[in-house]
Amino acid sequence: MWKVGLMNPGRNTNDNAVSATVSTILMVVLVIGVALILWSVFMGLPSILHDKVYIASEAGALEVIQPGGLATQVVGFTIREAEPFHFVGQRAPTQGKEVLIKVLTPDGRTLYPTPFLSGGPLEGRTLYIYPNSTGYSSQCDYIVSDTMPEGKLKSFTLGKWVIQLIDTEANLLISSDDRAEITTGTTSYAQAGGTAGGDVWRTDCTPLSFTKNGNPVAGFAGAPLNMSYLSFDGNDWLEYADDPTLTYTGDLTISIWINPQNVGSPGNYLSSSYWKQVIGKGLQTQSGGGVTEDKNYDLYLIGDRVYFEWDDRITNTHYHIMTDGTAVTQGQWQYVNLIVEDGDPEIYVNGVSKPFSYYKSNVPGNSKIPPASPIPDVHLKNNSYPLTMGKQASASNPFYYRGDIGSFALYNRGLTEGEIAENYNEYTA
């Protein structure tokens, strides 16, 4: 008897094996794909299913006219073509995907401008990036706006400004443009600056921490200063930990607003009860019957005079300079600048240069160097001590400051007379 065959006579037995293999491969691919998605979600990485936002933009320097007809430059940023998007922090109404605007400055700062934009699509608009120039803003506080800035602006640093756009959902750099070349502005901002007892920033816009000692009281001076300040009662001080932005061995500017109390009568600077350290970086210690000084820089009020002392890093000799007459007034806000440039010091109060004398001594007014004698260059000496404000770093001679201290800044260059005058008129440091 013949058996009837059950196999399809047109199909090879190997086809079943191929189908099984393909099914297995597809299953493995599917499992891997699901695993990749789950892994990206778990790890917080950009989703592989995310669609990027596309933006074509162009950066450049734009000239704006300030009050008085003075021309300056700001960064212009034109959105040529773009899918709907809005900036991080932009107020409603907003459209499309969220994009972070990031600015890299020629002096090493990383800025995230605050958007002040009207609603609607950004495509086709020219945006303006410029510093927040109110008296209480920091060197790291910038704005991006679709309206031209008005009023007096802080200067831009010279060089190329890089504008970057980042897709925040995918964490991807969308674009980076370095065509904004600023040719009118300042060579550099302060190495460190801010408000006493408030926010203090390094050049790169990272915060500089401090500790309060005693009970200094915060306040705010209204118009025209519009400045935050800290009041010292003669038993308070601030301490900033040693930091490269606080140490100077070449050029230096101490730029600071003060409202001193208890300065004594004019010319009464010999009484140590009127000696007050404003700001400085160093240490004084007892040594036998005297004291040992190790000062990078120290700025004081000696009665109504301005006094600056340092240790020479070459000879280890202690020097000071002091104004020849009254320089500050009790109970008034004053803007003080101590400048060291190419080894030569200068003292300005409210934008006016003050005459001073040199002394080879750590006692105010002692061992004056006669005008006919060789005048020493200033060679500031490095140290690793904290910076103090409102008190000398000394157990035996603290020389507490009494009064208010507002905005201050430390530069690694000498400010020009024009910059000093501008700071004085704008109530900033």
Res. 167 pLDDT band, cuts 50 70 90 = very high
Alpha-carbon distance values, 159 to 73, 92, 215 (Å): 12, 34, 43
DSSP state, residue 170: T
Rounded mean pLDDT, 250-255? 97
Which domains are present in the chain? 55-182 (no CATH), 192-426 (2.60.120.200)
Average pLDDT in the 293-304 region?
Answer: 96
For residue 20, name the pLDDT band (cuts at 50, 70, 90).
low
Around Cβ 218, how many Cβ atoms within 10 Å? 13
Residue, of 104 and 118, whose pLDDT is higher: 104
On the question of a cis peptide bond just before residue 386, with omega within 30 degrees of 0, the verdict is no
Q: Which pLDDT belongs to residue 315?
A: 94
Percent of the chain with pLDDT over 70: 87
pLDDT tens, position by position, 220-237: 999 999 999 999 999 999
Determine the Cα–Cα distance for residues 38 and 154; give it in Å rounded to an integer: 49
pLDDT bracket for residue 36 (50, 70, 90): very low
| Block residue for tokens 């790890």 | 43
Task: Give the number of C-alpha atoms closer than 13 A to the C-alpha of residue 1, restricted to the C-beta side.
Answer: 2
Chain centre to alpha carbon of residue 310: 26
pLDDT band at 30 (very low <50, low <70, confident <90, very high): low
- pLDDT band per the 50, 70, 90 thresholds, residue 295: very high
Mean pLDDT of the chain: 87
What separation in angstroms does the CA of 37 have from each of 23, 47, 49, 54?
21, 7, 8, 23
Please write down the HEC assignment for all residues of 82-145.
ECCEEECCCCCCCCCEEEEEEEECCCCCEECCEEECCCCCCCCCEEEEEECCCCCCCCCCEEEE
* Helix, strand, coil fractions of the chain, as percent rounded to 5: 10, 45, 45
Q: Identify the burial level of 112 via C-beta atoms within 10 angstroms of its C-beta, where 0-12 means exposed, 13-18 middle and 19 or more buried.
A: middle
For Cα atoms 360, 362, 366, give the angle at the middle one, nearest 5 degrees.
60
Q: What is the pTM assigned to this prediction?
A: 0.79
Is the pLDDT score of 12 beyond 70? no
Q: Are 135 and 428 in contact (CB under 8 A)?
A: yes
